[in-house]
Amino acid sequence: MSMEETGVNLSSWNGASRPQRIVLDGVYARLEPLDPACHARDLFDVTQEAGAEERHRYLVDAVPLHEADFVRWTEGAAASDDPLFFAVIDKATRRAEGRQALMRIDPKHGVIEIGSILWGPAIARTRVTTEAFYLAASYIFDTLGYRRFEWKCDSRNVPSKNSATRFGFTFEGLFRDHMIIRGENRDTAWFSITRPEWPRLSAALTTWLDPSNFDAAGRQVRRLEECRT
């Protein structure tokens, strides 16, 4: 329970709704339910681009060696309800340039996590990925009624921790010896956004994503952190 909800009577709480396989459409990005027939080829290409080992370093799945193996992975991922995978479409190119998932879904308590994120080099650190995050967060808070949105990552994953902070997540602590990933121990850094915090963060994201916040070359005028203040 967040500090804002401490002491609030939640006796009328009836839970949140489960996320569905629907398209979430934005200005720069579109989230589509993962479909091997539509997305596997593009996403395999993303996994093979320069820097692939580093992008996969903290993921459960390693860089795929063969496209056929990757297609089988996407078939299993697409059939899963938790994690519920989405392809991240760059609307400028109409290509799937990344993926992300809603996971550890707990409608009873209104808690859900964004994870298994792989944003390829074509969209990393661009408006596309920020909007991909925003579309997911708005869906779970504004449409489905969740109370808590979580972000977790390996404590060594500095880019992921920086992204969580940039998006407005609050660091909650370190879970030591939390998991074993591909033969290595993982200390997990936990972050969250709670429902009372979302309206302010949503307004900042909306302001940052507005086309007027970018020049003709696509460079931001104001940083997201500035929009929150």
Domain, as residue range, for 82:
24-227
Mean pLDDT of 128-149: 98
Q: Retrieve residue 96's tokens.
A: 């799937």
In a domain, residue 9? The reply is: no
Residue 2: pLDDT band with limits 50, 70, 90: low
Whole-angstrom distance, CA of residue 207 vs CA of residue 84: 28
In a domain, residue 202? The reply is: yes
Give 126's DSSP letter. Answer: S
In a domain, residue 132? The reply is: yes
- Percentage of the chain modeled with pLDDT above 70: 97
Q: Retrieve residue 53's tokens.
A: 């080992």
In a domain, residue 121? The reply is: yes
Residue 33: pLDDT band with limits 50, 70, 90: very high
Q: Retrieve residue 62's tokens.
A: 């390693």
Question: Could you tell me the pTM of the whole model?
Answer: 0.94
Short-list 91, 120, 104, CA closest to 24? 91
Q: What is the pLDDT of residue 221?
A: 96
Q: What one-letter code names the amino acid at 138?
A: S
Q: What is the pLDDT of residue 9?
A: 84
CA dihedral 104, 36, 44, 84 (to 10 degrees): -10
pLDDT, tens digit (0-9, with 9 covering 90-100), for 99-126:
999 999 999 999 999 999 999 999 999 9
Residues sharing a CB contact under 8 Å with residue 57, sequence separation 6 or more, in sequence order: 157
In a domain, residue 16? The reply is: no
Q: What is the pLDDT of residue 1?
A: 44
Instruction: Report the domain count for the chain.
Output: 1
Q: What is the pLDDT of residue 229?
A: 87
Contact status, residue 102 vs residue 112, Cβ threshold 8 Å? yes
CA dihedral 119, 31, 44, 72 (to 10 degrees): 130
In a domain, residue 18? The reply is: no
In a domain, residue 89? The reply is: yes
pLDDT at 81 over 50: yes
Q: How many C-beta atoms surround the C-beta of residue 24 within 10 A?
A: 19
CATH classification of the domain holding 67: 3.40.630.30
Residue 161: pLDDT band with limits 50, 70, 90: very high
pLDDT, tens digit (0-9, with 9 covering 90-100), for 45-57:
999 999 999 999 9
Average model confidence (pLDDT) across the chain = 95
In a domain, residue 8? The reply is: no
pLDDT at 6 over 90: no
Short-list 140, 123, 111, 117, CA closest to 201? 140
pLDDT at 192 over 50: yes
